Amino acid sequence: LENSLLTQPWASVCFGESVFLAKACFRDTGYILLISDLSSVWYESADAEAVGQRSKELNKRLTVHVSSFLHRLCNLMRPLLAGEPDATTSFSCHRTAGGLSLHMKSELSGLPLYWDFHCCPAPVEMVSRHLVRPLIQMSLALQYQVQELTSLLLQKDAEIEDYRESGAALSRDRLRTEPFREETFQQNFMAEVRSC
């Protein structure tokens, strides 16, 4: 399940006034949920047996096979993770000393359906695999992209200057651009980042 979770994208989700990043993976054999407020990271991994037991405790009037219940949980979480929460399903979260509890309320076949995700702090290796390493890899990729674009802009400026020196002129003056100044660009970019 955790390897499958690696392929899932992070999604921004709101529970009341709190904003989190979350991702989840559901199978017939269980599920894994990872959630972060960028200060802490919590997770829950539950197998089919644990899901069946908790389902009976929370939904005494429902009788449903565990794989069907997991499928229903997946269908209730999918809109939330897609940024289109279902109006018939409500979520609330409560931070505890030992973790994070996510409470879900919906319905199934006209009966109320409840579920609690009991998340505990994620181990360092899991945080590294799902959050830190991908962020560093993306940062490095973006740095490389900026270097490539900077090099391309400087080449374009040299090409334009060569055209000017050969006597070429713009047919429309509004297309004129200032030569790219890498240092000025970096200073302006950092100033914008700091103001965010």
Average pLDDT over residues 128-138: 93
Q: Distance between CA atoms of 34 and 43, rounded to whole angstroms?
A: 4
Task: Inform me whether the pLDDT recorded for 40 exceeds 90.
Answer: yes
pLDDT digits (tens, 9 = 90+) for 148-158: 999 999 999 99
Average pLDDT over residues 152-173: 89
Q: How many other C-beta atoms are found inside a 10 Å radius of the C-beta of residue 122?
A: 21
pLDDT grade for 18, boundaries at 50, 70 and 90: confident
Query: What pTM, to 2 d.p., does this model score?
Result: 0.77
Classify domain 1-122 at the CATH topology level.
Dna Repair Protein Xrcc4; Chain: A, domain 1 (2.170.210)
pLDDT grade for 108, boundaries at 50, 70 and 90: confident
Query: Which residue ranges make up each domain of the chain?
Result: 1-122, 128-194
Angle at 21 between CA 15 and CA 24, to 5 degrees: 95
How do beta strands 99-108 and 30-36 pair? unpaired
Torsion of the alpha carbons at 77, 78, 84 and 85, rounded to the nearest 10: -20
Average of per-residue pLDDT values in the chain? 90
pLDDT digits (tens, 9 = 90+) for 71-106: 999 999 999 999 888 888 999 999 888 899 999 999
How large is the angle between the packed helices 66-81 and 48-58, nearest 10 degrees?
90
CATH no. of 128-194: 1.10.287.450
1-122 against 128-194: fold identical: no
